[in-house]
Amino acid sequence: MSTTGPVSRPDPAAAGGGEPTRRPGTVVRPTGTHWGTYLVEGDGQRVVTVHDHPSDPDPSPIGRALTAATECRVAAPAVRRSWLDGGPGTAGERRGSEPFVEITWDRALDLVAGELDRVRRDHGNRAIYGGSYGWGSSGRFHQPSNQIYRFLRLFGGYTDARGTYSASAAETIVPHVLGLGYQAAVAEQTSWSVIAANTELFVSFGGLRVSNAQVTFGGSGPHHTKRWLERCTSTEFVSIAPLADDDAPEVDARWLPIRPGTDTALMAALIHTLVVDGRTDEAFLRTHCHGWDRLRAYLLGQGPTADPAGPTDAAWAAEICGIDAAAIVELARTMAAKRTMISVSLSIQRGDHGEQPYWMAIALAAALGGIGRPGEGVALGFGANGNAGAGQRRKRIPGPPIPPQRPDMPVISVSRVVELLESPGEEFHFDGVTDTFPDIRLVYWVGGNVFHHHQDLNRLRRAWARPETIVVHEPFWTPMARFADVVLPATTPLERNDLGGAETMLVAMGAVLEPQGEARDDYDIFAELAERLGFGGEHHQGRSADQWVHHLYDRFRDDNPSAPAYERFRADGHLVHPDMAVMGERRQVFLEAFRADPDANPLPTPSGRIELWSDVIEGFGYDDCPPHPIWLEPYERLGTAAAERHPLHLVSNQPTARLHSQYDHAEPSRATKVAGREPARLHPDDAAARGIGDGDVIRIFNDRGACLAGAVVSDRLMPGVIQLSTGAWYDPDLGVDGEGDGTCKHGNPNVLTRDKGTSQLAQGPTAHTCLVEVERYEGEPPPVTAFDPPEIIREG
């Protein structure tokens, strides 16, 4: 095993099969991404073009972003100047505003290995936080989270995180209510073919956007959601959301605008209407649910958890959510009269008390009695997960062996990283566990951009100054890299071989580029560090990266004997799993067996039933998450005193032209910018009241921060709402010596959002509970510098 450089390099000239016509001197290789599979044409130094994969009937336009894979790159190992001069802990407050010094790989690896050893020796493994947000690659071997978690666990452990910024509240509450993990529940959802044939009314809370359904964590296969929506010709769609275009245009949904963050109140009123009308399925609630009597008492304004205002009737909810009481009653009665599917997007659980809308939606579906019947019940993940409604589970693709985490290592909710850094020694509560935050001295981050997905970036920036050392692997000069001490340049998926899971396919991901600058694979970086730290053999097991990929494919063949030999697979470019159907075609009904016989097919909950009351959660004693679904006032919303100072609700939804912040520097994302900044939509009434016109640079602000954006005036959102998608690369005004006010010049909405957990149960992010004000920016706005590299000093 060499310790002087990368272990091996894939050959970009080794062409794959099934390629389109290509230019002289180029190769075409398949690549898998979280938003689809493509054929990428490159000449070793640049991506020439990106071809749609012939298997995909509706490819995502985000694929064109791969042409920017060689731009904004980290060229060589780079170290923040103060840290290099003064050592660990020097001038952490200057992260993000200092020059970097380029050094050799050997010196960089010696520095990082020395820091890992020092922190472990002096403070223990608990003082190391291993950060990764695995969207970095859909490849099974090179997925960044696989690499860092494997390395750090072999190293002896680290402070870990659980959950996702996308779905923490759902991931925590669904197992308590249904006994299934959230992703397992998504895999078991009713298939699109069943919905198209049986559903009469499809009510979506939070939208049903096709662009979101084109993304699947771990790799998206051929996209069929749009086709299925077009086949739902006998289904009426109702969209309950603050944005009119959050539902697919193919379904011509009836739009019910709702104040953001009030879905739970509306659902409670719908169930209340069913109760007083005598339209609830009492037999199902008695035989298949636990705790209906106590939830019913709450809805009727009775019992210890009753709302101070009394019953959760339509008039009560109308004051909260802004939907007319008569419309609420009419919707409830229509739901009861038709085969109704209740769909909840991930957006509605990314707010204060985000566990509640998912729990209440399941209760609503249970009250209607449709759970387990074809075309009825509750739909989880539709319009948010590309594989929702697929009718089948994804094929298991082996990954590298990851040792179990040491049981004495702390685990936090992934979105509580600022509290972790701010509050060493303080007690925290998380899904029934009580622990104390360790004193983090070293942050090691591989894959992801915390300055994209975290909330209250000004607070994060202050907390980020506390650790003594921050090490980041990163291909691009993203904010994640700029706020590090040591930046190790990593390859992209286009510079290495891998196995790409793509739902119904397995993709032979192949290199079309040489490593850019001095970039190395994450695996090779960790292999070098493991050698220095004394466990190299245990880490590499005698295999290069390409040999690991070959080995994992052989393991896949052990379970799938019809798969061709590895060399044939790479030449063909992909294989189709013969035992899987086209997405959505196979018949599947969520919880059908449970409905048919709950005694023979109980749910894996304590009661074996749907838990409308949780004795487990009651035992936790959390005052911010009672043991049944309930409306709890969020820390701010429209219609309250907080809206007098900040009268607009910010919706920071997913962008349509990129995945999160990935490839924000590429053409698809840049083409959407207004005045060079992230576009912000506001209603004509709100724009006119502030003298704002299309194309104006605007300042959006609250007590937490401010950002600049480009105004787009639109009637496709309700008055009182402003929409600014997440993902613009953070570009704070830090001034020359850190005296700037932190205004993001580029339009990152997370300078405005609050960093608070949903509750002590899930501790998920609450980005969608956010009030702001907006004004037209006067004078010459500052230039956007998000895509400019930091000042680079070359050592010696």
- For residue 753, the surrounding DSSP H or E stretch is none
Residue 276: phi and psi, rounded to 5, are -70, -25
Which tokens sit at 635?
A: 């820390």
Q: CA torsion angle for 714, 718, 720, 722 (degrees, to 10)?
A: -50
Q: Do residues 144 and 402 lie in contact, with contact meaning Cβ atoms separated by under 8 Å?
A: no
Catalytic residue among 83, 133, 165, 359: 133
Give, rounded to a whole angstrom, the gap between the first and last alpha carbons of the chain: 30
DSSP letter string over 265-316? Answer: HHHHHHHHHHHHHT-S-HHHHHHHEESHHHHHHHHTT-STT--TT-S--HHH
Q: Give me the helix-helix angle, 522-533 and 545-559, nearest 10°.
A: 110
- From the list 477, 457, 480, the residue with the least C-alpha distance to 744 is 457
Three-state secondary structure call for residue 740: coil
Catalytic residue among 35, 105, 129, 135: 135
DSSP codes joined into one string, 543-609: --HHHHHHHHHHHHHHH-TTSPPHHHHHHH-EEE-TT-PSTTTS---TTHHHHH-TTTS--SSTTSS
Helix, strand or coil, per DSSP, at residue 9 = coil
Distance CA 432, CA 746 (A): 40
DSSP state of 496: S
Tally the residues of the chain: 796
Query: Left (φ > 0), alpha (ψ -120 to 50) or beta: where does 261 sit?
Result: left
* Tokens linked to 278: 């005598």
Rg (CA), the chain: 26
Alpha carbons within 13 A on the beta-carbon side of 540: 26
Query: In this structure, which amino acid lies at residue 584?
Result: G
Question: Alpha-carbon torsion 410, 415, 421, 427, what sign?
Answer: negative
- Token look-up 């006994």 returns 179
Residue type, 680: A
Alpha helix (H) ranges present in 675-795?
Answer: 684-689
- Between the alpha carbon of residue 461 and those of residues 100, 422, 423, 483, 529, the distances in Å are 18, 11, 15, 9, 28
Structure tokens at 411: 């685990």
The helix or strand, by DSSP H or E, that contains position 533, with its residue range, turns out to be: helix 522-533
Are residues 422 and 412 in contact, defined by beta-carbon separation less than 8 angstroms? no
Query: What 3-state DSSP class applies to 37?
Result: strand
For residue 489, what are the β-bridge partners?
A: 474
Q: CB burial class (10 A; 0-12, 13-18, 19+) of residue 227?
A: middle
The question of whether 133 is a catalytic residue gets the answer yes
The span from the CA of 381 to the CA of 342, in Å, is: 11
Residues belonging to the active site: 133, 135
